[in-house]
Each structure stands twice: as structure tokens, then as C-alpha cells.
Structure 1
């Protein structure tokens, strides 16, 4: 996501670029357009929605580390933010499943609050109607639940963090090599890869433990979701990146437990939309095309008999960098407004025409609350202005 420092060097950009160069373009048939919703109703039951505003603003709070954006105390998080993701819970080792979280050391963050102050501030935010989650992973926190022991340790350790701080739920921000499909694992509806099967089971266990109010969000990169329109796993020849589309089985298996999906529309190479054209990050068209795929549904790896179903619009937000310092693919407030207009009103659509309009699109996610503050709150102010809050 999850840049601890301004403008990181990302491997995925090069991978996506090589995918584009391969020229292996999937073809969308008429079935594709009919596969997903073209109305606000959606196709997913979304039976376990959290009590969020109709239009919500999600942000990541750098609680465990310092960078150029500065440390923001929980009590000082502006009221604009409806979901606050604590960045990050990280594993003791890649395959341990043992997730740890602690506040930024005072040597790095001189203004860090005490644990008691932090817990009290979380309660105050919750009393004001906000949701506070632990985000697992990030750029540096690779998590691979390859064994049942790791799965069980994940449930135990994440549950302990949620209980310790009285949190509302979990954000899955698995990046890099956390999710990868084994050879021969070709059906996103029936995954076989242990790391994926165990993650699904672990999240379901946490949901069962904490009840129907448990908030579950996910922040995958485009490589792991929308790229699945072209490529899924290693492919029949075994020549593709096995991470291609690897989040799709997780999203699909948990769609009825999912509160919100906010794909990272940044740090991305060119991605093909349902118009069979490549779209580049940082533009309104990119956000429109990427979000349209989630709200319309799409055939996986071009197979019109294997369609990833549309999500309910209330389950979807657009993920963006809060400022030019926060990540590659920053989008100007004007283009953010154009994307929202197109997706919710079907106006201002520019070069990409979505398959419907979705007034109930949940909102926006930003990396990060800290970077937005560093930039004078431009991102959150634009959101509030747009929705008249």
C-alpha cells in the first residue's frame, strides 16, 4: 500500500508492464456485460454490513512506524475519517502466522501517546461512530499461512490484538508475495492453495468469534484483482506470474462477510478494463475502469463460463494516495470528482463508459491519514465537499 517512505520502488509495476507487452489480450463477449449489475441493487447479499455512513472515508493511520509524513496521535485524527486502519500488524516471520502490533517507539515518534491514551482515544472515536481496525500486512509484512498451525496462530494472535485494543475488526492488506496460486489451482470458486484456503478459514473464524458486527475490509493491489480478467495464477502453460488474480478466491469466499473492498488504484502498471483497453493509474478513467470491473463482474482469464460476480456497491470504495508524496498514481481532486460523478451519476465519464451507475458506491480509501494531514487535508476536504458533509 503502504508506503512507509515517499515513492517506493515497486516490482509489480514492471510485472504488469511485461503483461501488457505480452499482448495476450482476453476477449470480452456479450456475456460479460450481462454478468454483473447495472443498477444500484448489486448482486451480492452483503448480509453483514457494518453500521457505516452511506458514503464513507477510509484511511490508514501510521501507528507502528515513522516516516516523512509525521506521527498522528489517534486522538488527533480528524472527524472526516469513518474507518481508521491501524498500520500495521506484521508477522514474526513470513510463515509463522504470529501477528504482532505495537505503537511507534518514542525514539522514532517523539509525540507518540501512551498505550492507555491510545486505547482511550480508540474508545472515543468509536463513541463518535467511527470504526477502528487492525490492518495486517502492508509493504513489509509478508504473510503466508501455508500450514494449519500458521492459520490457527493467525486467528489467535489477531484476535488478541483486536481484544487488547477493543477494535471493530480486521483489514487484510496482503501484498508482495503473500498470496500466490499453486500450479493447477485454476478455479477461483474452489481454491486449493493452502495459503489461500487457510486465510479464508482464519478470517471466517475471527468473524465467528467476534460476531456479526465484525468489520472486514481488504486492500489488494490491482495485480491481485483486476489483472485476473486477463490472467489467473500460473496459467495452463505455467508461464504466468502465479500471483495474478490471487485475491479473487479470497474476496469471493468472503463476499458475504465483506464490509468493504478498496483496491489500491496506485503503485500499479497498466491494467486492461472491460473495454479491452489498457488504463494507466492517476487518471479518472483508471478509477472508473477498475471500479466498473468490481461492480459489473468479469470473466476470469477471459473464460466467460467462469465469471467473478459483481460486488454490491455498498461494499466498494476507491483506493487512492492522499497526496503526491504518498504513492505513485496520485490523482488530482478534480479527477477524483470526475470518477465519482461517472460511477454514481454516469456523468463526466470521459474516455471510459461504465456498465451502470451506482449511487450507493461506498466512498474512498486513502493511503494515508498522515499523508493527508501533511498535505493540508486536501483529500478528506474534497471528499467532504463532494458529499456535503
Structure 2
């Protein structure tokens, strides 16, 4: 009966909702109903709720459908089995009117504005700036300042600003503020040529350059660096230094630099300067690694410059590169958050000079990628090569979640997949790897739903199964010859059946041992003995973990993680699961991955400070 119910919930809700609902159901079976219902105010974690209790969350009202004690991650929108959204309880209160609108700067074609923050009963999510009586905003902002561009010279503009909240309520318009743009200056004079171009440092794939500033009758706005006789700039900078990345090891390059001004005038080229990149290390990835995801966004964990991440990380996965033309278009984009391109490139090169690997991760929870056509595959390959070359990344990480991967009905042989989006992804990854060569780092970070669940259910074969179950298996198998390592996310997971045919629940040593042992031993896909997924090499396996309780469900204490590693690498039994893989061979196990660098810093570096000494002792 329980298995039947789990299958039903999996089909209905998919992976993440499946995990939440199963956990909720297990708790519900143990928690008695409360005696009466009540208006409980704002939803809170670790609180007992009864049937018909009402709460608010995110400006909406919800009614409790089943008695339970709430947990972090069980917010009402996430668990429809527990909460029913009540009609007519949307947020209708508009934010207060912004005040203090003023100009902080202007040019001939732009005006910079700022204002005082508005307040709201739920929360202000952004601001809209209007010109005159226009009904469409000329600019939007999440903070209290913005620059409105594309204006005409020597023209007076009247601005107002409105605040908005998540429910779409908008405040009244602020008091109007008028600004006259500067007169247009017709500039035809080019800057002077930069002087004293020189190399200030090299790595095996980058050269750092500096030069003396140019002058201009109006003002120099930036510089362009060229390699040899190329007409396209290899790098740009607003200051007088830059790092050119994505170069070949042990190769001599000749550079020149030109200055430019706001009118597009460019100087003559500087005198050339040559530099030779360093020889690539013969073995430049440690035998035991700590891999950390770095946030290219701010989610409350705090922003960290790449060069300031903990030195205990060996590999930093920049997350995420995401689709720019829809989930099926194939084109991937990446723009550094809170960085200039020059500074971001310089920080990547700095970490590489310290012996670190910096990898671009694709996808994530919000970046759905479905390469359903040959055109999408080509767009994916071309855009990813461009991103990797532009920023000098050492490799890429495939972090496809949600509906990025699934199997067509009848696609039963993971060794010979027929589903187009699976075949196109395999082909695309191999093409990108081949473009950069054998030292290109290729990792994957699937959820357990896409890998270990394939032991019990394979999406293309079983009637009624979620077609995503085990969908990573054909990709892993087809690319195992170039796969550097697989770092399955042992978190945000529902119960998974191990090789002992028992359910294992996340958050403890038992789960990590059972899930990792499946990869080191191999298993029959869909329990079909004629379809066996071969074991990966131990150096191709890492365990994915949340850095702390804020980072995701399934946080495991350092002591429990190391208990799991002791079982897998030293043969020390844990009692709940017997390791089936060869413990002696497992000593080459690759290491630990964590979501994330930022959450580790937020938690005072518990993850890196605990696990770095443990891994170093294994070398």
C-alpha cells in the first residue's frame, strides 16, 4: 500500500514535490489532530497546525488540509497536500508613495535618479520610473536608484516613480522631478595611444597586462586589448589593466591596446608587448577535492568575490549559466553578478594562479534546458564554447534539474537511448569537451531522482512512472570516458531504495553510504538484470552535501559525513548498511561537493574547516 501511494505521489508531483509530500505524509501519520481550528496569522516553521487552521504566506491566505507540524521547506505554496490556497485573500494594499525623488547625475543621453524607499504590508519588490504622462515605465529598479538612458540631448524630462509589490499593487506616483540633459557634444578627436604596455603576470591559460593611461579632449571611457593582428578585442577594460584568459599553455602571445572615448573614437594601437603562458601542470587536480558552488546571485547568504572564497576549496563551480531564449532554444548566457567583466575575469585568473579550478555550471533549479532539436544542440554548443573562452573557465558542470531531462515512452536501453533531448545533450557535451581537450573538467550534479531512483524505476520503461526517473543514466554512461567526476546531490531527496532493497532517508551516514555504494558497485536499471549500469571509478565519484541547514533539505553534520566516508573508504561498519563495493579500491574516491561556497561562509566555514583536514589526511 505504501509503495503504491509513493508511486502515485511521484507521478502527480514530480521529484521535489514528491519528496516534500512523502515526508509530510510520514509525519502526519504520527501527529494527532488538534482539537480546534483558528486563524494562526503568518505561517511559521516548527509549529503544530490543525485541519481548517488559516495562515498567511507571501500575501496570500491558506487553509490547513491535514493536521501536521510544519518544517522548513514546507511553506504553503510548496506542499499542496497540506495547504489549500484561499480565494480572495490576495494582497490588495499598495506600497507607500516614494519620496525625495532627485537626480544624482546626467549626461547628454541619460539621467541618474534616486529616491527614498517605500514601505508595504508584505514587501516592496521594485520601482518603476515614468517620463511625463507615459503609462509604460522608462526604467525599473529593485533598489532606490536607476539610470534612465536613451534620452535626447538638451531636453527637459519630467520623472515620477512608483513602488510595486509582489501582488502587482502599485503606489501613487511620487512628486514630479524635472531634469534637462546636457547638450550634445560632437566629438571627433581620438584619444592618445596607450604607452608602456607590459605583462604583470602569467598563468598556464592567462596573461595579465597593464599600461599607462591615454588622454582625450572629452574623456577616455575604456580600452580594448588585441592579440596579434586580430580585429576583435580579446579583452576590454575601463582601467589601465586587464587579464586576458582562455589562452593556451606554454604559448607566446603578442598584445596591443587601444583607448576609446564615449563617441566611439579609438586611438592608434600601442606598441606591442609579448608574454608566454606557463606550462600546464602535469596533474593539476588534487586526488581529494572540495568542490563548492559560488552564487552568481544574492539569496541572503551573502555575496563573495571569487578571489575571496575560502582557500580550502579546490574547485569553484560558478552557478549558473542559464538559457536566454527559452528552455528549448539551446542558447546559454552568463553575466557576472555584481562584477565588471574585467574584474570577474581577473578573479577567475587569480584563483587559477592559486591552483584552483573554476568551472561554469549550467542549469540549476531555475535554468531548464531541453535540447529537443539539432538547432538547439548547435546553439548550446556554440554559446557554451563562447562563455568558456570568454571567461577562461577550466570546465563545465551539468546541473540539469526539473524537466531538463526525461525519457520518451519505450526508451528502455540506457546504453542506446533514443530520446532526442538525451542524444542531443550527449553529443553537445562531447563536442564542447573535444573543443578544449583532455584537461577540460567535466562534472555532473544530478539529483538522486535522476540517478539512484533508476535502480527501482526507469522512466522509459515502467507503466505510470515519472519519465524523468533515472534519466541521467544514459548521459553518464555515454560520457563516462570523459567524465571527471559525478557529484550526486544527496539532499532535497525523497526516500531512495538502496542495493539492500531498503528505503534510505537523507540527512545521515546511512543515506550517503547507500547512495554512494550504488555508484561504486553498479546496479541493474529498473531491477532488470539484463540492463546493468556499470560502476564508476572511485575517482569519478564525489558526494554532494548542503553546507548548512539553510542550504537545503538533508543537511548532515560533519561527524555523520565522515562516518559515511569511514565506512566507504576504511571499511568501518555503520550497522545500518553493509558496503558492497571494494573498500580497498574506494581509497581513490574523489571528495565532497557542497551547495555552497556562500552558505559555508554564512555558517562560519563549518563545512570547509571540518572536511578539509579529513580529506587531506586521506591523501
With the shorter chain as reference, the TM-score category is 0.7 to 0.9
Q: Does structure 2 conserve the Cα–Cα contact (< 8 Å) formed by 1:50 and 1:215?
A: no
In the alignment, structure 1 residue 212 sits paired with structure 2 residue 438: yes
**SS at 1:212's partner residue?**
coil
User: What is the match of residue 345 of structure 1?
Assistant: 570
1:97 to partner: Cα distance: 0.6
* Partner Cα separation in structure 2 for residue 210 and residue 247 of structure 1: 23
1:382 to partner: Cα distance: 1.1
1:113 to partner: Cα distance: 3.5
* Partner Cα separation in structure 2 for residue 316 and residue 121 of structure 1: 28
1:116 to partner: Cα distance: 1.2
Q: Does structure 1 conserve the Cα–Cα contact (< 8 Å) formed by 2:449 and 2:469?
A: yes
Q: Does structure 1 conserve the Cα–Cα contact (< 8 Å) formed by 2:544 and 2:592?
A: yes
1:118 to partner: Cα distance: 1.4
* Partner Cα separation in structure 2 for residue 18 and residue 323 of structure 1: 22
**Per-residue Cα deviation, 1:35-66 (whole angstroms, up to 9, x for no partner):** xxxxxxxxxxxxxx973111100010002x11
In the alignment, structure 1 residue 363 sits paired with structure 2 residue 591: yes
**SS at 1:359's partner residue?**
helix
Alignment of 1:22-37 (within 5 A): none
1:87 to 319, 323, 327: 319
Unpaired stretches in structure 1, ≥5 consecutive residues: 1-9, 21-48, 105-111
* Partner Cα separation in structure 2 for residue 347 and residue 52 of structure 1: 28
User: What is the match of residue 78 of structure 1?
Assistant: 310
Q: Which stretches of structure 1, 4 residues or more, deviate above 2 A after TM superposition?
A: 13-20, 234-237
Q: Does structure 1 conserve the Cα–Cα contact (< 8 Å) formed by 2:457 and 2:470?
A: yes
1:128 to partner: Cα distance: 1.6
- Greater strand proportion: 2
Bigger Cα Rg: 2
User: What is the match of residue 270 of structure 1?
Assistant: 495
Q: Does structure 1 conserve the Cα–Cα contact (< 8 Å) formed by 2:519 and 2:536?
A: yes
* Partner Cα separation in structure 2 for residue 191 and residue 83 of structure 1: 31
1:97 to 307, 315, 330: 330
Q: Could you tell which deviates more after superposition, 351-360 or 322-331?
A: 351-360
* Partner Cα separation in structure 2 for residue 114 and residue 342 of structure 1: 46
1:116 to 339, 342, 363: 342
1:102 to partner: Cα distance: 0.7
* Partner Cα separation in structure 2 for residue 371 and residue 144 of structure 1: 29
In the alignment, structure 1 residue 57 sits paired with structure 2 residue 285: no
1:350 to partner: Cα distance: 2.9
**SS at 1:161's partner residue?**
helix
Aligned length: 344
1:115 to partner: Cα distance: 1.8
* Partner Cα separation in structure 2 for residue 113 and residue 236 of structure 1: 48
User: What is the match of residue 167 of structure 1?
Assistant: 393
* Partner Cα separation in structure 1 for residue 498 and residue 16 of structure 2: 17
* Partner Cα separation in structure 2 for residue 224 and residue 19 of structure 1: 17
Q: Does structure 2 conserve the Cα–Cα contact (< 8 Å) formed by 1:16 and 1:271?
A: no
- Greater helix proportion: 1
**Per-residue Cα deviation, 1:244-303 (whole angstroms, up to 9, x for no partner):** 000000000000010010000000000000000000000100000000000000000001
* Partner Cα separation in structure 2 for residue 320 and residue 267 of structure 1: 10
- Structure with the larger RCO, 1 or 2 (CA within 8 Å, 6+ apart): 1
2:413 to 177, 182, 187: 187
* Partner Cα separation in structure 2 for residue 50 and residue 313 of structure 1: 17
User: What is the match of residue 293 of structure 1?
Assistant: 518
Unpaired stretches in structure 2, ≥5 consecutive residues: 1-12, 24-281
User: What is the match of residue 15 of structure 1?
Assistant: 18
1:186 to partner: Cα distance: 0.5
1:16 to partner: Cα distance: 5.5
In the alignment, structure 1 residue 354 sits paired with structure 2 residue 579: yes
2:358 to 132, 135, 143: 132
Residues 1:312 and 1:50: Cα distance change in structure 2 (over 3 Å): farther
User: What is the match of residue 378 of structure 1?
Assistant: 606
**SS at 2:599's partner residue?**
helix
User: What is the match of residue 51 of structure 2?
Assistant: none
TM-score (norm 1): 0.85
Residues 1:293 and 1:228: Cα distance change in structure 2 (over 3 Å): same
Residues 1:17 and 1:68: Cα distance change in structure 2 (over 3 Å): closer
Q: Does structure 2 conserve the Cα–Cα contact (< 8 Å) formed by 1:232 and 1:301?
A: yes
In the alignment, structure 1 residue 305 sits paired with structure 2 residue 305: no
**Per-residue Cα deviation, 1:293-317 (whole angstroms, up to 9, x for no partner):** 0000000000111100000000100
User: What is the match of residue 615 of structure 2?
Assistant: 387
User: What is the match of residue 40 of structure 1?
Assistant: none
1:331 to partner: Cα distance: 0.2
* Partner Cα separation in structure 2 for residue 16 and residue 380 of structure 1: 28
Q: Does structure 1 conserve the Cα–Cα contact (< 8 Å) formed by 2:358 and 2:394?
A: yes
Q: Does structure 2 conserve the Cα–Cα contact (< 8 Å) formed by 1:17 and 1:270?
A: no
TM-score (norm 2): 0.54
Q: Does structure 2 conserve the Cα–Cα contact (< 8 Å) formed by 1:75 and 1:118?
A: no
1:236 to partner: Cα distance: 4.3
